[in-house]
Structure 1
């Protein structure tokens, strides 16, 4: 993954003149972006080393639950088609030595229930596929118990030894969903979460009505994870860009405040200077006037204390 280019912010005048540098902010944000984006990019586009592709076990017919004496065929396939060469089969971890072909068939018995796996010289060991063999008159069959929303939902009401079945009814959580005189299949082309529930079927074999055992089917909401790593990368880049912008603005504001606090005040051209304090003569005249007023007030209030009051008044 290439290192994303980071365009530096224009330097302020104080930076060019020897002011405090803001480069540590850019370095810190760059390293944070690399540390956050590296795991996401690795998960999104870097393949992890793997061994040979896994083989796949396929059932034919596709039912994982069958009745005793039903015909079952197992296929061992590669990731893109039928497997070639000798095939190793196992059931519940025990090798089936008699089977070395990528395909083998048998009539199901109760002892055939279990988890089947296969492997060839060009493929790895497959995931297990469970086969359940029961003994009953009627069985509700389905290819899978767990579906994604939008998948096909296929149900089959199957009778022992394929005996004729009529008046067939499919029920979900005890509520009838389909009734047919002779059609033993129930198909939903696009299942959704409302199709989750407990299903069973009923029908007549001869004059006897039979019911199958219940089967729990779950339909999960589909989630598209293909764009998940890309979404993470975009979100991280947006967050880093916002943090970088906020840090740059905060640094610029702090720089402007420090410049305003340290610069001396200057007087603009044409500004009126403050008034000069009163001259010494003016102060003396004011003091003299105040003293005369005080003397006049005192004489008026106490005329008996100053016999020359009349002379002062005349003067």
Structure 2
């Protein structure tokens, strides 16, 4: 990360970190709340953190580069692909925030979610968003390539309580203005805290038999192979000894 910073930004970041040691981190929020956007979508990032009274300034970094301006919010009126990347901020009485990553996609449809990583039991809220909010019909949502929901014009997909069955890759498809059949890119949804089934335990005797089973199978396979090979050799030898050769006898010569 340090290689991306120009010298001035590096000095400001280093001095800011030294002054903010022990302070709570700033927090970043999005409005709208989607971190995956289409080109021309508007988005506003807000830096929340402790401040000196009557001072609402904040410093902003994009992909490690210090941005000009010190407003508490960073507004992007019409997003572009090069607006994608990692954003961080810091107020005058907070430590540097955790990174927030935006992805701006050049496409007709994008699958959006409030969060891509959720705890088991929490809701999953997704929507199939179109470029410039054009009308979308016959909306379908897919999980791991299998259809999960179909609607004539509802672009939202809601799972009330996430379980391990909801882990996977999701995308959406729809007809834009009844003319273009488009699909979004697939995105991974991860459900944390899912209980894994316990591994069954076996009694010591059964465990010993199971551990010896591969060796026993190998011995049996080897014995069977040698037996078949021996019988095959015997059959070949017998075939050679039983081979019939024909030659003309005296009576055949007389007939000539």
For 1:42-81, list aligned pairs within 5 A: 51-78=22-49
Q: TM-score, normalised by structure 1?
A: 0.52
> Which whole-Å deviations, capped at 9, do the CAs of 1:152-209 have from their partners, x for residues lacking one?
2011101111111011011111111111111101111221111111101000012221
Q: What number of residue pairs does the alignment pair up?
A: 171
Match of 1:171 in 2: 142
**Which one of 57, 67, 70 corresponds to residue 100 of structure 1?**
70
Q: How far apart in 2 are the matches of 1:92 and 1:144? A: 21
**Which one of 162, 168, 176 corresponds to residue 205 of structure 1?**
176
**Which one of 186, 193, 209 corresponds to residue 221 of structure 1?**
193
Which consecutive residues of structure 2, in runs of 5 or more, have no partner in the other structure?
1-20, 196-256
**Which one of 120, 123, 126 corresponds to residue 94 of structure 2?**
123
For 1:81-100, list aligned pairs within 5 A: 85-97=56-68, 99-100=69-70
Deviation at 1:62, TM superposition (A): 1.2
Q: How far apart in 1 are the matches of 2:102 and 2:43? A: 10
Q: How far apart in 2 are the matches of 1:108 and 1:84? A: 28
Deviation at 1:61, TM superposition (A): 1.1
Contact 2:163–2:194, Cα closer than 8 Å, also in 1 = no
CA RMSD, Structure 1 to Structure 2 (Å) = 1.9
Moved over 4 A (4+): none
Deviation at 1:222, TM superposition (A): 6.2
Residue 141, structure 1, aligned to residue 112, structure 2: yes
Q: How far apart in 1 are the matches of 2:171 and 2:194? A: 25
Which consecutive residues of structure 1, in runs of 5 or more, have no partner in the other structure?
1-49, 224-315
Q: How far apart in 2 are the matches of 1:84 and 1:111? A: 31
What secondary structure is seen at the aligned counterpart in 2 of 1:183? Answer: coil
Q: How far apart in 1 are the matches of 2:121 and 2:48? A: 26
Q: How far apart in 1 are the matches of 2:160 and 2:93? A: 36
Structure with the greater alpha carbon radius of gyration: 1
Deviation at 1:84, TM superposition (A): 5.2
Contact 2:140–2:148, Cα closer than 8 Å, also in 1 = yes
For 1:153-172, list aligned pairs within 5 A: 153-172=124-143
| Structure with more of its chain in strand, by fraction | 2
What secondary structure is seen at the aligned counterpart in 2 of 1:213? Answer: coil
**Which one of 163, 173, 192 corresponds to residue 192 of structure 1?**
163
| Structure with more of its chain in helix, by fraction | 1
Match of 2:83 in 1: 112
Q: TM-score, normalised by structure 2?
A: 0.63
Contact 1:58–1:75, Cα closer than 8 Å, also in 2 = yes
> Which whole-Å deviations, capped at 9, do the CAs of 1:52-98 have from their partners, x for residues lacking one?
0000111111111100100011011127xxx952100010110111x
